[in-house]
Amino acid sequence: SSDDGDGGDGGSGDQPYTIGLSNGFVGSEWRTQMVDGLEEAFAEYEAEGVVDELVVESADTDVNGQIQQIRNLINRGVDAIIVNPNSETALDAVFREATGQGIEVFAIDQAVTSEDVTNVVIDQAEWARISADWLAGQVGQGGNVVVVNGIAGHPANEMRWGAAEQVFTDAGVNVLTVADGNWDQATGQQVMTNLLATYPDVDGVWTQDGMAEGVFRAVDAAGRLDRITISGEARVGFMRLWNDARATGFQSIGVVNPPGGAVSALHMAVNVLDGREFASGTIDGNTVHVPIPYTVDETTFDQYWGEAGSESDAYSLDGSLTRDEAADFFE
């Protein structure tokens, strides 16, 4: 491996590269899928001799712990770090330490503010807009929706909700209340149950990923599935419920939030380490928006359910850039 500082721009391409992954939360299947997918893609590169080692730092920890993770990766002499950050801002200083040692850093899932880092993420606002648009269309102008969000103050939550709220305002949809379900299915279910009891005339629920299944069960338990529209998610557990309810005319939408973002980032990292530059227009500041792979809706449901239906409930429908697609981001 090479730990001589050769900076982002002058990548000398002395393969094989060592790649580090820092993941500060393991209490979710999505993250597991992310790590597993990365390991698979890495194995291909490894077979080709492009990379030699993937150092995985993955544990439940806080910002301080993640700083320690990244410092450990730096001390391990990696060439690039792919990080799913626990904070949008609080890792900035340690990122500077990394780039100071000539390490390329890529943030996935959640963009960070540091300019030393290349964000390889989907556009969370866009992601939220798609389902909010759909829901607004379903309930129509003057319709009443309640919202089950993730964790207040969490950047992705704020970004998503900011975009969705705008959609609802523009469409003249009334947002009755916003509650937090901690991105947790059981909490989502309990919160929704409470909301249903106190808001008798709800037409729709907008929720984020991880909680749609709980929201569905709450609405179903209240026997109001026929009157309340739910914005769903592209996970097998929810899609199974969706599939069963389709017979009664239930409709929903699931926008893919791909764990495979890590794979896309790996492709980018190899390109950058090889010394290639991002093409103009593909990068906005320091953020590369990878496209949202696809959306599951009434028209595409059968196709995707056929592909993923045998996976476990926690499986998220996935997608990542191919190597060629990733290469198109570069000059």
Instruction: Name which of residues 49 to 88 contact other proteins (CB under 8 A).
Output: 56-65, 67-69, 71-72, 74-77, 86-88
Distances (CA, A) of 6 to 79, 265, 319: 10, 20, 32
Please pick, from the candidates 125, 171, 178, 292, the single residue that binds other proteins as defined by CB under 8 A.
178
- 298-327 residues near other proteins, rule: CB under 8 A: 312-315
- 209-228 residues near other proteins, rule: CB under 8 A: 210, 213-214, 217, 221-222
Q: For residues 121 and 107, what is the distance between their CA atoms, to the nearest angstrom? A: 7
SS3 call for 307: helix
- Shortest CB 64 distance to other proteins, Å: 6
CB nearer other proteins, residue 64 or residue 300 = 64
Please pick, from the candidates 125, 171, 179, 292, the single residue that binds other proteins as defined by CB under 8 A.
179
- 257-296 residues near other proteins, rule: CB under 8 A: none
CB nearer other proteins, residue 55 or residue 327 = 55
Give the pairing type, strands 295-296 and 254-255: antiparallel
Please pick, from the candidates 166, 187, 243, 287, the single residue that binds other proteins as defined by CB under 8 A.
187
H or E element, residue 153: none
Give the pairing type, strands 254-255 and 104-108: unpaired
Please pick, from the candidates 200, 249, 281, 306, the single residue that binds other proteins as defined by CB under 8 A.
200
Residue 153 interacting with other proteins (CB under 8 A): yes
Q: For residues 9 and 251, what is the distance between their CA atoms, to the nearest angstrom? A: 49
Helix-, strand-, coil-residue percentages of the chain, each rounded to 5:
40, 20, 40
Piece of 23-31, 122-130, 243-251, 271-279 that binds other proteins (CB under 8 A): 23-31
**Beta carbons within 10 angstroms of residue 135's beta carbon:** 28
- Shortest CB 277 distance to other proteins, Å: 27
- Angle at the Cα of 278 (from 259 to 154), degrees rounded to 5? 40
CB nearer other proteins, residue 200 or residue 281 = 200
Structure tokens at 142: 């003057």
- Shortest CB 31 distance to other proteins, Å: 7
Nearest to 33, CA basis, from 316, 321, 323, 320: 316
- 230-259 residues near other proteins, rule: CB under 8 A: 237
